[in-house]
Structure 1
Amino acid sequence: MNIAGILSRIVILCFVPLFLSSCNGDDLKKAATISSKKLTLSKDRSLKVEIVFSDSAVVKAKGFAPILDQVNPSSGSKYQEMPKGVKITFFDPKQTVTGTITSDYAIRKETEQVTIFKKNVVVVRDDLTFNTEELTWNQQKKMYYSPKGIVTRPDGTVLNAINFTAPEDFSSVAFEQGSGETYVKGDLGQ
């Protein structure tokens, strides 16, 4: 027998018992303890929900969700989930529609006072349409945030950019690294 064969047998004889001894019953007991700690959720489902947001008896917005799940985890904060999407219509003090937000999914985190709209998010106002895949509304700051999106104006201007922010009424939009197309009226050559 050569030296390489002897060394390989010594390595196998030394490490196999060591490996097998690391697989003892204590590990299985730990795994059973961990798996017994289950997270309990209570979920209340409502169908065809309309929510009215008002301030001093003046309606500011109405929201509609085909499904609204109120989720109360056994640990952690409560949240509302709209798995089939949501449409919110905004009103001015004269109750004229000023804009809408629609998305295929939304979640409202009560403790953080944040609502996150996801999948096919579209904000429509008279002066712009904003398309994105994710839009966050921070209720405390009264601001909207989006990592990226496309703004289209009625004159045909299209703007792609990242890190969008807008106040609650979308009266202005701030962004970074914008690029797009714009149209200028008038005679440029004369």
Structure 2
Amino acid sequence: MLCVVQLSLSSCGDDDLKKVAKLSKKVSLDTNRTLGVEIIYSDSAKVKAKGFAPVLDKITPASGAMFQEMPKGVKIQFLDDKLAITGSITSDYAIMKEAEKLTIFKRNVVVVNQSLTFNTEELTWDQNKQMFFSPKGIVTRPDGSFANAVNFSAPQDFSYYTAGSGYGETYIDEKLGE
């Protein structure tokens, strides 16, 4: 057993150690952690959404753009003009890339409003386009109909959605034919 340990240690040369030292210098980060954060998003001086995160890390890399990470998840509530809740997004993890104006929600992402529930593992909000995008997910309507949506996109109010392809099940009201 001792011979195996000596062989594996002897395979590390001075060059490998120099590479590790160089890499460790490049990964230098400045992190600022805040607990119990409330984030307010407004547009044209009107509050549009409130977000809640148990942990918010503001990370400033040695080189590159600053970003904010919510490693313990986030819940965002969408608000109307009277500040009534019209919908929500929850996820187990989120990252806000400030320079790109992107927020990426990951793991157990659920969007809920009056017209749909959308479940996915990844959802991106593009602030410039004011649109949400997801590679795939399941859209469920209040009547129980559903669609497995691929290349999902929706405006920031989720008033409608589009999908490139998918399949699902829908229900038709028999009274409509009368």
TM-score, L = length of structure 2: 0.86
Shift of 1:67: 0.4
Compare CA radii of gyration and give the structure with the larger one: 1
Partner of 2:19: 34
Distance in 2 of aligned mates of 1:133 and 1:182? 23
| One-letter amino acid of the structure 2 residue matched with residue 105 of structure 1 | Y
| One-letter amino acid of the structure 2 residue matched with residue 35 of structure 1 | V
| One-letter amino acid of the structure 2 residue matched with residue 34 of structure 1 | K
Aligned pairs, how many?
164
Correspondence 1:171 to 2:170: no
Report the secondary structure of 1:148's partner residue: strand
| One-letter amino acid of the structure 1 residue matched with residue 39 of structure 2 | I
Report the secondary structure of 2:163's partner residue: strand
Correspondence 1:180 to 2:168: yes
Distance in 2 of aligned mates of 1:115 and 1:56? 20
Alignment match of 1:107 (pick from 90, 95, 99): 95
Report the secondary structure of 2:16's partner residue: helix
Partner of 2:40: 52
Shift of 1:161: 1.7
- Residue segments in structure 2 that go unaligned for 5+ positions in a row: 1-12
More off after superposition, 31-40 vs 122-131: 31-40
Distance in 2 of aligned mates of 1:55 and 1:149? 28
**What's the C-alpha RMSD, in Å, of the aligned pairs?**
1.8
Distance in 1 of aligned mates of 2:103 and 2:136? 17
Shift of 1:59: 1.1
| One-letter amino acid of the structure 1 residue matched with residue 92 of structure 2 | D
Percent identical among aligned pairs is: 60
Alignment match of 2:57 (pick from 54, 63, 69): 69
- Residue segments in structure 1 that go unaligned for 5+ positions in a row: 1-27
| One-letter amino acid of the structure 2 residue matched with residue 60 of structure 1 | K
